[in-house]
Amino acid sequence: MQARVRFVLPDGSMVALGPGDLIGRTAAAALQLDDGRISEAHALVSLRGGTLRLLALRGLFAVEGHLVSAVTLSEGLAIELAPGLRLTTRDVTLPPRVLALGGDGLHPQVLGSISSLMVDPEPRLSTRYEPDADALLWNRGESWLLQRRGHEPRPVQEGDSFELAGRSFCLTSVPLGHMDRRATAAANRPPITVEHGGRRVDLYRGSEHLTTVRGNGAAIVEELVEFAGPVDWYTLARQIWTEEGSDRKKLRGRLDTTLKRLRERFREVGIAATLVASTQSGQLELLTSPADLLVERS
């Protein structure tokens, strides 16, 4: 019950990756590549609008001779991470339903290949490894494991429940297309290019330069590009305003003020304010379409 892509590597071996899985040199990558041309965090598999996409995190990769920052994965697609270093998509699995976690104070959210659950002071789920998490959930082939802090991992499946800090959580499933409405809205607008780097973001529609965003507004966009999916507001704010520590009130105030200004800037130049979108559970994400380009400034 997980979306999955299988890649054929240059040596003929095969690897299966799911949403949230990282490709890079770091030992934490689901696909670790020992090549100096590959960044520690080079690319990420992401689930968006019922499709699996590969997103460039550092630099670009090539598809059919063109440098791109994102591509929708399909059978037979060849992706060059670096000259001569090619991944070929063997197949893509998109089940009708995918596993999600919900509970007290947590709207059901789709699980990544590894997800971190934090409960204090309010539940939040991150689709990547967080060392201070109260619980971790990850898949092992077709099965799933849960590890609460201080406990050994145990197998779990749809319908299982557990408690953390007096709160109840339950594994459920949601239709793969439950995010399609938001993705369709993004796909219905003209494509844009988001050029980012160094706390500066430039937005283009075709060759037309729309606006430049600097400072904390640019930092929000850059962090959302790196997360490549929904992230809870607290995790995002702590990445940007490190001087505030863990003061939730101050972090929330600074984030809300910056988001208001950022969205006003978008509206002024004819871009939907929902480019930086809020989910029902209070998470934030960069709501791009497959036709948009995310380019890291060199």
Nearest to 53 by CA among 61, 44, 65: 44
> What pLDDT, on a 0 to 100 scale, did the predictor assign at position 281?
56
Q: Which of 118, 144, 177 corresponds to the end of one domain?
A: 177
- Are residues 196 and 157 located together in one domain of the fold? no
Shared domain check, 103 and 87: no
Q: How confident is the model at residue 59 (pLDDT cuts 50, 70, 90)?
A: low
**Count of structural domains within the chain:** 3
Mean pLDDT of 132-156: 89
Domain of 126, CATH number, reads 2.60.200
Give the per-residue pLDDT at 86: 94
Same domain? For 67 and 139 the reply is: no
- Over residues 125-139, the pLDDT tens digits come to 887 778 889 999 988
Mean per-residue pLDDT, 68-94: 91
**Residue 184 within any structural domain of the chain:** no
Query: Is the pLDDT score of 298 beyond 70?
Result: no
Predicted confidence at residue 81, as pLDDT, reads: 93
Given this model, what pLDDT does residue 186 score?
Answer: 56
64 falls within a domain: yes
**Residue 53 maps to a domain:** yes
Preceding peptide of 108 cis, ω within 30°: no
Q: Which of 152, 160, 122 is nearest to 136 (CA)?
A: 152
Average pLDDT over residues 3-7: 90
**Same domain as 157, residue 63:** no
Q: What is the mean pLDDT of the chain?
A: 85
Range picked from 36-40, 155-159, 173-177, 232-236 for highest mean pLDDT: 155-159
Cα 287 to Cα 23, 173, 185, 201, distances in angstroms: 22, 23, 9, 15
Residue at which a domain ends, from 115, 150, 177: 177
The per-residue pLDDT for 240 is 92
Say whether both 104 and 36 belong to one domain: no
By mean pLDDT, which of 156-165, 168-177, 194-203, 285-294 is the weakest?
Answer: 285-294
Same domain, 227 and 137: no
Q: Determine the Cα–Cα distance for residues 150 and 139; give it in Å rounded to an integer.
A: 19
CATH of the domain at 273: 1.10.10.10
Give the pLDDT score at 183.
52
- Decide which of 177, 210, 235 is a domain's last residue: 177
In a domain, 41, yes or no: yes
pLDDT, mean of residues 151-161: 94
Taking a C-beta distance cutoff of 8 angstroms, is the pair 213, 201 a contact? yes
Q: Name the residue type at position 21.
A: D
Tell whether 183 is covered by a domain.
no
Higher pLDDT, 176 or 242: 242
Query: Domain check: are 206 and 291 in the same one?
Result: yes
* Tokens at 202, concatenated: 């430039």
Q: Is 182 within a domain?
A: no
Give domain status of residue 160, yes or no. yes
pLDDT at 272: 84
Radius of gyration for the chain, computed over Cα atoms and rounded to the nearest angstrom: 19
Q: What is the pLDDT of residues 199-217, one digit of tens each?
A: 999 999 888 999 999 999 9
Same domain as 208, residue 141: no
- Shortest CA distance to 99 belongs to which of 68, 65, 127? 127
- Specify the pLDDT at position 179: 47
Q: What is the CATH number of the domain that holds 65?
A: 2.60.200.20
pLDDT at 227: 74
Residues 81 and 102 in one domain: no
Domain span at 264? 189-296
